[in-house]
Structure 1
Amino acid sequence: MHDTRYATSGMVCSVDHLASAAGVAALDRGGSAADAAIAANAVLTVTAPHMCGLGGDLFALVHDGSSGGVSALNASGRAGSGADPDRLRAEGHERMPHLHDIRSVPVPGCVDGWLALHERHGRLPLASLLEPAIRLASAGFPASPLLLAGARIAAGRPGGGDFAVVHEAGDRVRRPGVARALSAVAADGRDGFYLGEFGEGLLELGAGEYDRADLARPNADWVTPLGIRAFGHDIWSMPPNSQGYLLLMALGIADGLDLPASPDDPLWAHLLAEAARVSGHDRLALLHEDAKDLLAPEEIERRRALVDPARRLRLGAPAAPGDTTYLCAVDGDGMGVSLIQSNAAGFGSMVFEPRTGINLHNRGIGFSLTPGHPAEYGPGRRPPHTLAPALVTRADGSLRSVVGTMGGDAQPQVLLQVITRLLRHGELPGPAISAPRWRIGAGGTGFDTWYAPDDTVLDLEEGAPWSDGLAALGHPVTARPYGGMFGHAHLIDVRPDGTLAGAADPRALIGAAIGR
């Protein structure tokens, strides 16, 4: 059982102890939770390129710690001015290219996200927050066990030479181009990055996919978060183009179901899985950046009525045609930040910007190539995103929890289980995070779950107690090893007396919840 960590004046949880330590160091210097999140994320862009990076996107939820207000930051990039869906269709593509194609690389939003978060909620100089990451990129960092497999592949790609030294965990990796890019942000803000060495290399690599105006346009917007009341709390996530509505809809459905008292009961897994299925089966048709009214109460009631406690639902016609890292921080003043940052699939597109060696995400795989689809690939458009951080407040508006996970299409499913354990069953963060999970699996890439919703199976993590019961209820089940394919979830829970209780996911191997 993974331990719950406790603190009284601040905490940071992330997938890497080096990142968590950098975040806590920012808190020690008087920084805010936003400062801590930026410092931790900056380190992860260096040490965890198989999950996130300067070439990826960012979303964040912020509880300001005073008025009780929750705000949402969408720092997802837009397709370049040269985006041409007709050309892809003429080449025979029915879906966006998954790897090795610059057209699945919207302009990365990470740096714009940092700058917007810092401008509104930061206390320390940005340069000081980036210093630990710059030092690790220049002097080197020990390769984590999770980096090994992807690094061997990345080293063989043009621009991936930083990873040629990785043969076993602990090998020292230096990333001088990333150090230069971070230093440029520290010195010159967004222009140092988007219009500097990285931007010039991206324009060259894009060969018409982007123009300079695309890079000059900021990618970060403060937007209104989505929220729902469930289990006596308000749970918040990101609005479209995020799939956060799937988590909230499933929680709203689950709150009205007769859940068993024990999460070990197969009926518990069945009801939550069905809540996730009836929420997500039509995601490909519904989710686009301008989607509205996805959480209408009557729609939640309609979908809840589809859930049958006695058997798996056949959903009928299929819907229309990663990796990631999550971190969270809470400071001594009660500010909480729930931040998720991603390349999409592992190292992303496996395309590297040639001057800095920064690997570029492939979030463009969320676009549709169906003519006229509201999420069709096109200039200046944001793709549908799997990223779905969460934040929980009490009825009085005070912060209860910050929580999130990586996991592609399965992110809402993982969080549905963790949040239900926390709020409905009163589990501590450690047990809630470390407990075995199910996920709706479709094989393939982890981003294609909803192309044929009735063909999916329930992947059950090693140690899960539900296998026979779920099979009897009509679920095809597959046993899977305990590990990162079921997400890396992290959680900080604020107790009524202000004590912080947190846990980093043991599936991350070197993750850490560090308090002060």
Structure 2
Amino acid sequence: MTWETQTVPGPDGLVCSVDRLASEAGAAVLRAGGNAVDAAIATSAALTVTTPHMCGMGGDLMALVAGPGTGSAEPLVVNASGRAGSGADPERLRAEGHRTMPPLGDVRSAPVPGCVDGWLALHDRLGRLPLADVLAPAIELAEDGFPTSPMLAFMLPKLAGVTGCDELVEAGVGTGDHLRRPGPARMLRAIAAEGRDGFYGGEFGERLLEVGAGEYLPGDLARSSADWVEALGLDVWGHRVWTVPPNSAGVLALAGAGIAERAGLGADPDDAAWAHLAVEAARLAGLDRPRGLFEGADGGVLLHPDRLAARAAMVDPRRTVLREDRYAGGGTIYLCVADRDGMGVSLIQSNAKEFGCHVAVPGTGVLLHNRGIGFSLEAGHPAEYGPGRRPPHTLAPTLVTRPDGSLRALLGTMGGDSQTQLVLQLLARLLVTGDDPAAVIGAPRWVLAAEGGTGFNVWERPAAHRVRVEQHAPASWRPGLEERGHEVRTARPDPAGFGHAHLIEFPVDGPPRGAADARSLIGAAVAG
């Protein structure tokens, strides 16, 4: 099965997301005079309504913004990932017998949600239209309803038994059935009218304190989760690639690209050697994940040229290097927006795993994420669960500029621990092979899988990785990878297992053009 993808031009702006309704919401804001930031917020807000199985106001957000209107030569970056509440107690979890953070049914895996703070930070600094106008399309979708997507209909049974989800678990809701979301509509109206106070200081905040039962205190909600931080960049393949610094995993995507370039990754993705070198680069970069990715980690150290060169020197074109004798041991959306003035936004928003921790904030229609599963329960670990701390994130939004500083591309994907692997492949096809957006997004992919994989434990035992490849991968990949010592599995058609990636490119001599991932089934690139 191949994924038919089209490159869409956007002379007056372009929105790429996992859901056509959300892309159209963003495009409508562009047509109304909004800029790329306005449209990105509008798209993101619409997605919290139509794709609650992947994101919501109870999740987190990270974004990069570049181009005219930012007032900066480098990308602006907002990290709106939430912090654990004041009641976070790792000793209590350890005493209960937990060795890892409980993923479901436990509010302790839900740091204070940062998504809404991210919207407000972006809008306050860079937005053009009134916030009420930006949120209006999402409010309309929530109040008037929308046809249930195939993916949402498939996922809804997972909420059986979760209290507070009545509007999502009505009997008989199937593909195409009309679904209204009065809770999120009310939350969005409160944000439009009162800003931060309408959400964190209003009904949502009050109910969050109740459901938290001591995990959160009022001061936790009074503190914004959105910080403007310095972009992390790396020169690779004749461009500079940018991402959000740690606690984002974006540094691993950049490191993987740096290792791949130094190891001699070629321009022919049909060659098994290409797949092997890309896999090895991603795996070697991922060695830093367990102990090197945490809030405050120095991304520059992980990207130091000597470090990347040393990792690249380990790559053997004939054999995988990570073997047992050498080493021992979702629910996310990505969107990108360009406006007619050349501003671009690369934004990612997440529940972490599907519907998050399966805890709803009563009466609001908002489910809490479980990004706290990124915390460690090892005493003294740099990413140990604790009050006011941010967990390591798999989120890796990416932005590419040319040597002259002009914007070249926006790209990213969902996919848990596979995000950085997929970003590496997208970058290689765009910057080395020279594919257009449709070819980059529609091309076959590989991802690393762990035994008993959850999508968030890939880096626990790098030597035990299996390489999953899509069915439409080049015929050379599987035998070529197996000859080099990889354990390979060809995957059946899997709409969620290889990411939902989107890309907007900014040609030197033409308008932006982009492509949305057909793997999402309802994704769309919509012109402004």
Distance in 2 between the 1:164 and 1:345 partners?
18
8 Å Cα contact 1:234-1:392 kept in structure 2: yes
Show CA shifts across 1:432-490 (max 9, x none): 10111000111421000011111110011111121111111100001112322100000
Q: Which residue of 1 aligns with 2:135?
A: 130
Matching of residues 96-245 of structure 1 within 5 Å? 96-165=101-170, 167-245=173-251
Gaps of 5+ in 2: none
Paired amino acid for 1:224: E
How far residue 155 of structure 1 moved from its aligned partner, in angstroms, is 4.3
Answering whether residue 525 of structure 2 is matched by residue 513 of structure 1, we say yes
Paired amino acid for 1:226: L
Paired amino acid for 1:368: S
4+ residue stretches of structure 1 with deviation over 4 A? none
Between Structure 1 and Structure 2, how many residues are aligned? Answer: 514
Q: Which residue of 2 aligns with 1:452?
A: 461
8 Å Cα contact 1:140-1:173 kept in structure 2: yes
Q: Which residue of 1 aligns with 2:67?
A: 64
Q: Which residue of 2 aligns with 1:288?
A: 294
Matching of residues 364-513 of structure 1 within 5 Å? 364-442=372-450, 443-465=452-474, 466-482=477-493, 483-513=495-525
Distance in 1 between the 2:74 and 2:162 partners?
45
8 Å Cα contact 1:152-1:163 kept in structure 2: no
Distance in 1 between the 2:162 and 2:147 partners?
21
Question: Please, what TM-score do these two structures have when normalized by structure 1?
Answer: 0.98
Paired amino acid for 1:33: A
SS at match of 1:77: coil
Distance in 2 between the 1:155 and 1:224 partners?
42
Distance in 2 between the 1:498 and 1:326 partners?
24
Q: Which residue of 2 aligns with 1:323?
A: 331
Q: Which residue of 1 aligns with 2:88?
A: 83
Distance in 1 between the 2:359 and 2:198 partners?
21
Show CA shifts across 1:187-234 (max 9, x none): 110111001111111100010000000001000000011111111110
Q: Which residue of 2 aligns with 1:348?
A: 356
8 Å Cα contact 1:2-1:431 kept in structure 2: yes
Distance in 2 between the 1:274 and 1:259 partners?
11
Alignment RMSD: 1.1
Distance in 2 between the 1:296 and 1:230 partners?
13
Q: Which residue of 2 aligns with 1:256?
A: 262
8 Å Cα contact 2:415-2:497 kept in structure 1: yes
How far residue 167 of structure 1 moved from its aligned partner, in angstroms, is 3.4
Show CA shifts across 1:227-261 (max 9, x none): 11111110001100001100000111111222233
Determine what percentage of the aligned residue pairs are the same residue: 58
Gaps of 5+ in 1: none
> Which segment is superposed worse, 403-412 or 151-160?
151-160
How far residue 281 of structure 1 moved from its aligned partner, in angstroms, is 2.2
8 Å Cα contact 1:65-1:398 kept in structure 2: no
Distance in 1 between the 2:138 and 2:219 partners?
29
Question: Please, what TM-score do these two structures have when normalized by structure 2?
Answer: 0.96
Answering whether residue 7 of structure 2 is matched by residue 4 of structure 1, we say yes
> Which segment is superposed worse, 402-411 or 160-169?
160-169
SS at match of 2:167: helix
Q: Label 1:86 to 1:288 Cα distance change in 2 as closer, same or farther (>3 A).
A: same
Paired amino acid for 1:311: R
8 Å Cα contact 1:65-1:399 kept in structure 2: no
Paired amino acid for 1:200: E
